[in-house]
Structure 1
C-alpha cells in the first residue's frame, strides 16, 4: 500500500504499523478531522461480511476510558476497513523489547483497567470478544494508563469468523479451532470462543510481562514458581486461575477477574502475616500466640465490618449535609469517606449529586471524568456507575451541550440495570440534539419499560418543545402537573411552561403560572420558580406595573430565608428597593453584599447611585457629593481592573456622566 494512498476520500495513509490475526494495521491522517487515526484492513478470507447499519452504529457508539473510539467502517476495492482514534504512547511489546520492568502495583492497576475495558466489551449485545489480546495490542499512554487497541471487529460482525492465534497468548480453545476443525472434535471442551478466551489471553499477557517469557502451550508445571519469583503468592494465584487450560476453571467474567485484582493485597499471605505480627507486638501478646491465631480471623472480620459501617455513616452524613444545603461539609465528608473505602462508588455519587444540585454542572462533569473515571482505585463496574453517568449526561444537558449528553447516555446504556427514567431523559436529550425520530423510538422503549403516566406526558412535552410545537408542549406539561404526585417533576413542568411564555413575550401568563406553582408546590421545590418570578416581576415593573417591585422584593427575601441566595439575589434586591425609595434598606443590603462577596466594582457603583438619591432628597445648599465621588472613583478603578473581555457596563457610563455633571456644577471640587 502506497504511503500516499487516500482511502474513502478521507484517510491518507502515513505508514504501516503491524499485522495481527485480524488484519493489517496502518497509521493514517483524517483530512476532515485533521488528526491522526488508526486504520485496519480486516483479514476475512472469504468470510461473509454482510454488515448492517445498526451493527456499525453500535460499534461507533462504544465509549470507554481504556478503549479507542471506532470512528468509521467502510469498504473500498473489495476490502473492509475500520478506523479508530490514534492512541499515543508505547505498547507493552515495545516496552518488553526495551527490557522494561513493571512493579506489582503498576500491574495490578493496569489489570483492573484492562478488566474494566473487557467487561464493557463483553457486556455489549451481542458480546464483543477482543480475540487478540497480547502485548502489541495494549498501549501505555503518556499519562501511565492503559488503552486496549485492535479489538476484533470482524469477530463481532460475523459469528462464523475463525480468529487466528498468537503463540504465547491465545487460549487453547481458540488455538485448536484456528488450526483445524478435526482437532476441535476430539476435544469437546474447546468448541467455542467467548469471554473466557479473552480472560486467558489477558492472563497470558501478564505472565509474559512478569516473567519475561511467553506462556508455553505444553505446560511444565512450574508456571506458578516462575511468577512467584517476581510477584506475591496472591498475585500469582490470580493469574494462574486466569490461564487454566480448562476454561471452566477460569474466571467466569472479566468482572470476577477485576475483583480478584482488587483483592490481591487482602489475600497476600505475607501481608496477612505482617499484620498479625504487628498486632501481636502492639498488644504484647506474643505469649498468647495460640489464642491470637484462633481470634485473628474474627478480628480482621470485625475491622472490616467497622470500616464498612463507618463508611456508610459518612455517606449518610453526605446526604444529610446536601439536603440541608451545607455543601462545604458534604465535600469534606466525601473526602473522608473516599479515603476510607476508595473503591466504593456511593460516596462519589453523592458528591456528584451535590455538585449537580448546586447547578455546578461543569464541575460535576469534571468530577465524574477525572475524579471517578480516571481513579486508579474506584470500582468502575459497581452498579452505581450508571447513576454517575446519568448525572454527567444531565449536566451536559443543562449546559445545552446536547450532543455530549447523548454521548454519555449512550455510554450509560452499555451497562446493566438502570432506572427507566433514564430512557425518558435520554429521549429528551435526543430530541434537543435534533434526533427526533430516535427520540420517539426511545420514548416508546421507556413506555415498554413501564414508564409512569406523568413521565410520559413530561417527555412528550419536552420533545414537542424541542421541535417548536409550543402549544402542544404546554398541554403535555399541564397534563403532567395534573396527574403527577412527583413534586420535582411538577416543578420541572412549571419551569418549562414558564420558559415558553417568556420566549413568546407572555409575561402576564408567566407570572400567573409561577404564582400558581408557588401555591401548589412545597417550599423545597420552589427555588427556580421563585427566581423566575422575581425576574418576571422586574420585567413587568419596567413595562409600567411598578407595584410588582414590592412583590419581587418579598419573593427575594423568601429566597434568602430559604438559603438559596446568590450575588444576583442581593443585587436585584438593592435595585428594587432603590427604585421604590427604600434607601435605608439599600444601604443595609449593600453592606451585606460587601461582607459576603468582598470588594467589587458593582457594589461600589450601587453605593454611588445610592449617594445620588440621598443627596437629591436634600436642599441644594445642604448637598454633599464627596461620598458619591469616593464611591465613583473606587468603582471606576475596580471596573477597569475587573472588566473582562472588554465588556462594557452601561450603568458605569451613566455614572460617569453624573460625575461630570456634578463636577461641572461645582458640587465636586
Structure 2
C-alpha cells in the first residue's frame, strides 16, 4: 500500500499521489492528480486478500450505476498486485465530524438545510429499482461539506441492497452509537435503519453531543438547549425510536416534516385553531359582500395583468443590459403578483442559465417552483426549462425525470427535448460498460445543434454541450480538444463580446489544454495566451467570478510577467475580500520573487503578511496550492529565517 512517505509517486503512469486522505480497517484513500488533465481524483485502495465476510467491492457495484449530485462517481477501476483501486470524484471539502470538533455544534437553520439535502440523496437510494439501497453507516464522518455548502455522502463500503423475503442481514455491521438496533438484532435493515442513523447524526450536529459520550443516550434536545425548536426535537425523537414501526416509515415522510417544521410547534397549532374560527366568521362576511365585490373585480384584474406584464418587460430590458440581478428581481416581483402564470418563472430560469449561475438557478427552482406551487409544473414549457436547469447543474437523473414527464406536443423546444432527454438518460446511468451509449447520444445532440437555424439557441446549447465534454474525460477521448472545438463554434456565432459564460469557459478550456502540454513549451505558451485572451474578455464583459481573476494572475505568472500577475491577484482580493485564493497566490508570488534574490537581500515580510491573510479566511486545506504555500512557510520557519 502507498503511505505518505511515497508522496509524489506516479501510479499507473497516470496519477500522481499527492497525499493520504484517510485510512480505515479495510481500505486507504489517496488524493491523486491526473498528470495529463491537471484534475484531482480520490483513489481508494481495497486489498483483495482481506479475509472478511463483507463484500469489499460492494461500493463499486453500488456506485457505478448511480447518478446524484451528492454521490461520488467511480470513473476508473484498476486491478494491481493484490489490490483493487477505485478512481473516484475528489470531494473538496470538510467532513462534518471535523467541523463539529472545530465549531462544537451547528445552528438549527443550517442543520435543517443539511438534513433536507441528506434526505434527498437517501430518498434517491431508497427508490432504486428493483432493489432499494440501504446505506447503513450514516454518521458525521461520512458526510462532507463542500465550499459551496453542498452535502456529499461518502463511503459505501457497507451499503447493501434490500432483499424481499429475507428476514435479517447476513452481517451485523455499522458504527456503534449511530447504528440502529436492528443492525445488531434479528431483523433485516431497511429504509427505517437509515432514518434512525440520520436522527442520531442530526442530534450530534445540533447539540455537539456524540451518542458515544456519557451518558450514552439520546436526550430530548431542548433539555440540552432550550432555544432549539419543538419541531426539531419531535423529528429527532421520532427518527430514533427503538421500534422501527414507531419511526418515520419513509424518508419522504421525514422530509415533509422538515419542510413544514414550524407546524410541529405548539404555538402554531394554537394559531391554526384560531384561524379556523376566523375562517368561519369570514365565510359569513364573504357571502354578504360577494355582490359588492363582483362589480369592481374586473377592473382590478385588468390593472393587475398590466402591472404583471410591465414587470416582465422590465426584467427583459434589464437582462439585455446584463443587469442580471435586477432582471431576476423584476421576474420575482412578477411572480409575487401572479403565482399561477409560468411566464415569469421561465424567464427567471433562462436568465440564470444564460449567465452560468447554475447553483442559484437550482435554488430558485426548488424555492419558487417545485416546493411551492405544484400546479405550475403541469406547464410543459416550464417542465422543459426546469429539466434544463438540472441538466446544466449536472443532475442528469432529475433532468431526465422532468423531460420524461413532458407528454404533450405544445413545447417550444419539442425537437431539442428529444435529444436532451436521451442524453440525460444516458448520463444519469453513466458507468464504464455504457460509455458507447453516452458518446452516441451526445454526438446526435451535437448534430442537432449544428443543424438549428436559431443562433441564440445554438450558442447556449454549445456551451452546455462543451460542459459535458469537460466533465466526462473518462468517456470522451481528447475531451479538452472537443470542448474547445464546440466553444469556438459558439464564438464564431457570437455577435458581441458580452457572453461572460462563453469566454469564461473558453479560458478554462485553453488553460486545461496548456496544462496538458507543459512539456512542449511552444504549444504550452500558445494555449496560455489563448486562455489569457478569453479570461480578459470575460472580465471586461463584467465577470463576477473570482476564478477568472485568479486564473488570469496564474497565467501571467507562468508567462513570467510578475507585475501583471500581482495586479490580477490584487484586483481579485479587492473584489472578493473573503476569498483566500488571491492572498494565497500573492504569498506564493512574493516567495518566488524573494528566492530570485541573494540570501542577504531577501525580505519575507510581504510573504508572511499574505500568508497570515490566507489562513485568516475560510481556506481549503486540501487545495494543492495551499499545501504548497504551507510547506514553504514551514520550511522557512524550520530554517529559522522567519518566526
In the superposition, the TM-score normalised over structure 2's length comes to 0.49
- TM-score, length of structure 1 as denominator length: 0.47
Q: Which is higher, the Rg of structure 1 or of structure 2?
A: 1
Using CA pairs under 8 Å that are at least 6 residues apart, name the structure with larger relative contact order, 1 or 2.
Answer: 2
